[in-house]
Amino acid sequence: MALMTGEQYIESIRKMHMQVYMFGKKVEHPVDDPILRPSLNSVRMTYDLAQKPEYQDLMTATSNLTGQQVNRFTHIHQSAQDLVKKVKMQRLLGQQTAACFQRCVGMDAFNAVYSTTYEIDQKYGTSYHENFKKFAAYVQEHDLTVDGAMTDPKGDRSKAPHEQEDPDLFLRVVERRPDGIVVRGAKAHQTGALNSHEIIIMPTISMGPEDKDYAVSFAVPMDAEGIFMIIGRQSCDTRKLEGSELDVGNAEFGGVEALVVFDDVFVPNDRIFMCGETEFAGMLVERFAGYHRQSYGGCKVGVGDVLIGAAAVAADYNGCAKASHIKDKLIEMTHLNETLYCCGIACSAEGHATASGNYIIDLLLANVCKQNVTRFPYEIARLAEDIAGGVVVTAPAEADLKDPKLGPYVEKYFKAAPGVSVENRFRILRLIENLTLGTAAVGYRTESLHGAGSPQAQRIMIARQGNLPMKKELAKKIAHVKE
């Protein structure tokens, strides 16, 4: 099957029978829901760009499984150059959507599961790697979108999965059958699950022997029996119901999060990639987290490009673009954004082959990348709000601008630089609001902090991988220390 077009992707999701709930009600037609549709449009962009000749080098790759051209989001990385192209692709998509385009987590799960299943099979003689390769080839052949799900609700963070008062707070195997397993639990904060054809489940933490039922990885269709989703709230989400494109800020694109509940879901044997091999849970978590921390050096940078551009336009429209402090703030925003990109490229360029043959990033540098991402977007957002001014949160609604009585007053008192319409000024201000405070702030701010692990998770990995003993020896050698 050839690469899907964006329209074919939309129709393929429309044909699925997902169970979706929002605001206490079942959503009968998620594809056409005004709150949910912008997130679907963001994923569509990953298909549309793959159809354009000028982007095919970034958006597509040659599959190591089939030899065919596939969307890079379904690709198993074969070189450090593949890792670099991944980051460049993510920046491009962030620039095109100014939102989360949701497929990174599935791509990162693909590559983490690929190498981990190989090493489980090497130790235990299992068939997980072959299972996964068949699944990956199926996804590539049909050009599917896959969600990667790692984060469990966790319950009491001081207790291991098997110690929880409610055993379902970490997703687990509740029944083993000759033809497969039955699982129960949930995965939280699932970005893009709503817009995916398939979902890959992974354990969320390192585990001991007592957690055997929780050390499970598998893939199932998003509309499998027993799966349903509860959509998360986002700041300003109901603005999309008001009929104002201007007030939304980014009317075409967006992201969406969900709690995905697995209410006794059956998984056939050929879709199981780990089942009880607790000592490999930590490996899978570490590799997935590393790949996903690399991803943030691309996607957040692309969105940052849009926010920097919006701040610069706001300065133009406010009539203060030539002020030295405005120029300096825009330089600082650019410096921070490009530093994130440097980290994403660096951990990719230093990538190396795993035992399975696919390539993994330099894990230390990937964690440094994500540690910076937990900070720099917040500063970029602060500077954007500083440049835009207080009007970014006090501007009247589009209805006031268009009102026969109020409109002339809005036009009169919100006029700024000559030749700039008040409507255009409001459009840029609403985009800044969307990225820093509105629905897109979920992906640009809070996800930058907690996505792919909280800041402390990266600091733990940096401490573990920083090789301090080697650095001590370097210092002792230079100082001629004799012990």
Say yes or no to pLDDT of 430 above 80.
yes
Beta pairing class for 180-187 and 25-26: unpaired
- Any bridge partners for residue 230, and if so which? 21, 259
Which residue has 């629905």 as its token pair?
439
Which of 273, 270, 268 lies closest to 124, judged by CA?
Answer: 273
Give one DSSP letter per residue of 217-234, joined into a string.
Answer: EEEEETT-TTEEEEEPP-
Q: Is the whole model's pTM more than 0.95, yes or no?
A: yes
**Residue 472 to residues 367, 459, 475, 478: CA-CA distances in angstroms?**
22, 19, 5, 10
Say yes or no to pLDDT of 186 above 90.
yes
Which token pair is 17?
A: 């029978």
Which residue has 């966790």 as its token pair?
154
**Residue 137 to residues 65, 75, 121, 128: CA-CA distances in angstroms?**
6, 10, 19, 14
Give the model confidence (pLDDT) of 368-399 as tens digits.
Answer: 999 999 999 999 999 999 999 999 999 999 99
Average pLDDT, the chain: 98
Q: What is the share, in percent, of the chain residues with pLDDT greater than 90?
A: 100
Give the model confidence (pLDDT) of 246-279 as tens digits.
Answer: 999 999 999 999 999 999 999 999 999 999 999 9
Rounded Cα distance between 222 and 319, Å, is 50
Strands (DSSP E) found in 116-179 = 146-149, 172-177
Question: What number of other Cβ atoms are within 10 A of residue 338's Cβ?
Answer: 13
What CA dihedral angle connects 194, 43, 302 and 58, to 10 degrees?
130
Residue 83 confidence (pLDDT): 98
Q: What is the share, in percent, of the chain residues with pLDDT greater than 70?
A: 100
Give the model confidence (pLDDT) of 308-348 as tens digits.
Answer: 999 999 999 999 999 999 999 999 999 999 999 999 999 99
Convert 48-71 into a string of H (helix), E (strand) and C (coil).
Answer: HHHHCHHHHHHHEEECCCCCCEEE
Say yes or no to pLDDT of 1 above 70.
no
Active-site positions read 100, 104, 191, 257, 292, 296, 299, 447
Q: Give the ranges where 319-446 is alpha helix by DSSP (H).
A: 324-349, 363-373, 376-388, 391-394, 398-402, 407-413, 422-436, 441
Task: Give Cβ neighbours of residue 35 (< 8 Å, ≥ 6 apart).
Answer: 22, 231, 237, 238, 240, 241
Q: In the predicted model, what is the mean pLDDT of residues 291-304? A: 98
Which token pair is 295?
A: 């991803």
Rounded Cα distance between 116 and 129, Å, is 8
How many CA atoms, within 13 angstroms, populate the side-chain half-sphere of residue 391? 21
Phi-psi region of 118 (alpha: psi -120 to 50; beta: other; left: phi over 0): alpha
pLDDT confidence band for 138 (50 / 70 / 90): very high
Say yes or no to pLDDT of 89 above 90.
yes
Residue 292's H or E segment, with its range, is helix 281-318
Residue 180's H or E segment, with its range, is strand 180-187
Which of 126, 99, 129 lies closest to 112, judged by CA?
Answer: 129
Rounded Cα distance between 270 and 128, Å, is 8
Residue 2 confidence (pLDDT): 84
Give the model confidence (pLDDT) of 351-363 as tens digits.
Answer: 999 999 999 999 9
Rounded Cα distance between 343 and 84, Å, is 11
User: Are 309 and 317 within 8 A, CB to CB?
Assistant: no
SS3 assignment, position 446 = helix
Rounded Cα distance between 164 and 138, Å, is 37
Task: Give Cβ neighbours of residue 470 (< 8 Å, ≥ 6 apart).
Answer: none
Rounded Cα distance between 32 and 165, Å, is 40
Rounded Cα distance between 437 and 18, Å, is 30
What CA dihedral angle connects 358, 363, 365 and 366, to 10 degrees?
80
User: Are 173 and 196 within 8 A, CB to CB?
Assistant: no
**Residue 178 to residues 182, 205, 219, 220, 443: CA-CA distances in angstroms?**
11, 28, 18, 18, 42
User: Are 426 and 392 within 8 A, CB to CB?
Assistant: no
Rounded Cα distance between 297 and 131, Å, is 31
- Any bridge partners for residue 353, and if so which? 359
Question: What number of other Cβ atoms are within 10 A of residue 346's Cβ?
Answer: 19
User: Are 350 and 112 within 8 A, CB to CB?
Assistant: no
